[in-house]
Amino acid sequence: MTEFYEFQETEERVILVGVQTQEGEDTQESLEELGELAVTAGATPVASVVQNRESIHPGTYIGKGKIEEIRELLLALDANGIICDDELSPAQMNNLEQELQCKILDRTLVILDIFAGRARTREGKIQVELAQLRYRASRLVGLRASLSRLGGGIGTRGPGEKKLEMDRRLIRERISQLKRELEQVKRHRELIRGKRQREQTMVAAIVGYTNAGKSTLLNRVTDAQVLSEDKLFATLDPTTRAMRLPSGQELLLTDTVGFIRKLPHHLIEAFKSTLEEAKYADLLIHVVDASNPQMEHQMQVVYDTLRQLQVGQKKIITLFNKQDLLPEPEQLRDFQADYSLNISVKTGEGLADLEEVLEEILLEGQLLLERVFPYGEAGKIARIRRLGQLLLEEYRPEGIFVRAYIPRSLLGELD
C-alpha cells in the first residue's frame, strides 16, 4: 500500500525589534510598517519590542537586558526569528545569532527578499540580484553559519544560499558582470528616452510611497493592466503607457517603484536606472495615501528620496488618493507641489480634474498655430493631432486650414 506524506512549510513567527534613540521618534510607527513588510514577505509578526537607548549598541543592536527579554519571548510565543528595524552590521548579526540562537534578519534583508519575489523582467531581476550581492558581500562570512541551516523563508529568495558558496572574489566578478548588463539596459533606456524627446512626447513619472495607489492610477487612466494589490511593493518593474486626454493629446505615464522609509542604499544604487525615469520626466505625479495616519511623514520620505536621486525642479501634481476611505471629505494641500488634487482612483473621483490640469500644463509650452497646409502635406496634420491640440480643421480649395496648439519644438518640423 502506497503511503502519502504531507509536507508543511514551517510558519515563520517573528518578533519585531526597534531602537528609539531620540524622544519623539516614530519608532513604533516604523515597527508597524516593518510588520507589514514581514507579512508581505510571508512571515507572521507575533510581538514587537522597542528599546530606548542613547545610541544603537555597536555590538548587538540592543542591550543585554532586551536580549534576555527577547529570548524569553521567543520561547513563550514559539517564535523562530527576529527582524530588526535597522540595517545590522555583520558583527551585530553574528552576536545576536549567538545570543538568541534563532534567525536574525534586518529591514534591508526583508525588503530585498520582497523585491526578489516580485521582480519579473530581466532588468528587475538584475537589479535585485545586484542589490542582494552588494548586501551579502560584506556579510559573506557572518551569514554563512546562520543561513546554511535555513530551508527556505525570508532572506533566502533570489541568489540565496548558492551565492554563499562563492568567495568574495567570485562575488565581485558577478557584481561586475551584472553592472555591465545593467549598463546595457541603461543605454537601451537612453535610446528610448531620446526617441521620446525627438517625438516631443511629454512624460509624467508617477512617484509616491509604496501602496499609495500608483499602479491603480496607471491602470485606471491607461488600461495598463499592471498588477495592483493592497500590499507593499505589489509592483516592482516600471511600466510606461500612453494616456489620451479629452482634447486628443497624448502623454506618457511611467510608474516607478514605491518609496519607503529607510530605503536601503543598496536598492537606491541598484535601481538607479529605473528611478532615473523620475529624473528625466517632464513632470511628476505624486500619489499620496490620504487615509494613512503617517501621510505627512510618507510625503517627506518621497521628497527626501527625490532629492537623493538629484531630481531637479519639475512641476509636481500631488494627488491625495483614497478619499473614499476618509470618514469625511477633506481638502488637503501639498505646499511643495504646483497642484494639489483630492481624488479616489477606486471611484474615479477627481480624475477629470487631473485631466484638466495635465492639459493646462501641456498648453503652457505650446503655441497657437493658424496655417493652411497644401493637400500634399496632410501628414503634418496627423503629427499636430497627435502631439498638439487640434482646434479647427477646415478643407479649402487652396489646402487644409488648421488652428491648433502645438509644442514649440514642433514648429520647425512644420516649416
Long-range Cβ contact pairs of 215-221 (< 8 A, separation 24 or more):
215/239, 215/255, 216/345, 216/346, 217/285, 217/287, 217/319, 217/321, 217/345, 218/253, 218/255, 220/345, 220/348, 220/351, 221/253, 221/351, 221/354
- Summarised one tens digit per residue, pLDDT across range 111-120 is 888 888 777 7
Average pLDDT, integer, range 158-184 = 73
237 annotated ligand binder:
yes
233 annotated ligand binder:
yes
How sure is the predictor about 8, in pLDDT bands with cuts at 50, 70 and 90? very low
257 annotated ligand binder:
yes
Strand partners, 269: none
26 annotated ligand binder:
no
Q: Quick one: pLDDT at residue 333?
A: 92
Q: Distance between CA atoms of 380 and 196, rounded to whole angstroms?
A: 18
Q: 22: which residues sit within 8 A by CB, 6+ positions away?
A: none
Query: Does 195 or 136 have the greater pLDDT score?
Result: 136
Residue 357: is its pLDDT beyond 80? yes
303 annotated ligand binder:
no
Question: Do the Cβ atoms of 91 and 131 come closer than 8 Å?
Answer: no
119 annotated ligand binder:
no
212 annotated ligand binder:
yes
- At residue 61, φ and ψ (nearest 5 deg) are 70, -50
Alpha-carbon distance values, 36 to 114, 191, 294, 323, 411 (Å): 11, 38, 14, 22, 52
235 annotated ligand binder:
yes
How sure is the predictor about 299, in pLDDT bands with cuts at 50, 70 and 90? very high
DSSP line for 207-276: EEBTTSSHHHHHHHHH-------SSTTS--S-EEEEEE-TTS-EEEEEE-PPB-TT--HHHHHHTHHHHH
What is the b/e burial string over 95-125, where b = at least 16 CB atoms within 10 angstroms of the residue's CB?
Answer: bbbebbebbbbbbbbbbbbbbbbbbeeebbb
SS3 139: coil
Q: Quick one: pLDDT at residue 31?
A: 93
Q: Distance between CA atoms of 85 and 220, rounded to whole angstroms?
A: 35
SS3 288: strand
Q: Quick one: pLDDT at residue 159?
A: 55
Q: 129: which residues sit within 8 A by CB, 6+ positions away?
A: 116, 158, 159, 178
Alpha-carbon distance values, 360 to 253, 389, 404 (Å): 16, 11, 15
CA atoms within 13 A on the CB side of 234: 15
Q: Distance between CA atoms of 148 and 145, rounded to whole angstroms?
A: 6
Residue 205: is its pLDDT beyond 80? yes
Computed over its alpha carbons, how large is the radius of gyration of the chain?
A: 26
Question: Do the Cβ atoms of 34 and 110 come closer than 8 Å?
Answer: yes
Q: Distance between CA atoms of 63 and 53, rounded to whole angstroms?
A: 8
Residue 360: is its pLDDT beyond 70? yes
- At residue 210, φ and ψ (nearest 5 deg) are -60, 140
43 annotated ligand binder:
no
352 annotated ligand binder:
no
- The torsion defined by the Cα of 222, 227, 228 and 229, in degrees rounded to 10, comes to 170
* CB-CB neighbours of 218 under 10 Å: 26
Return the closest-CA partner of residue 98 out of 63, 60, 136.
60
Q: Quick one: pLDDT at residue 298?
A: 92
Q: Which of 132-136, 191-195, 406-410 has the lowest mean pLDDT?
A: 191-195
Strand partners, 372: 401
213 annotated ligand binder:
yes
Q: Distance between CA atoms of 11 and 13, rounded to whole angstroms?
A: 6
Classify residue 360 as exposed, middle or buried by CB count within 10 Å of its CB (0-12, 13-18, 19+).
exposed
pTM for the whole structure: 0.78
SS3 413: helix
55 annotated ligand binder:
no
Q: Distance between CA atoms of 225 and 218, rounded to whole angstroms?
A: 8
Show the cell assigned to 298. Answer: 510618507
Residue 40: is its pLDDT beyond 60? yes
323 annotated ligand binder:
yes
211 annotated ligand binder:
yes
292 annotated ligand binder:
no
Residue 280: is its pLDDT beyond 90? no
208 annotated ligand binder:
yes
> DSSP character for 322?
-
Residue 318: is its pLDDT beyond 60? yes
SS3 74: helix
Question: Do the Cβ atoms of 137 and 169 come closer than 8 Å?
Answer: no
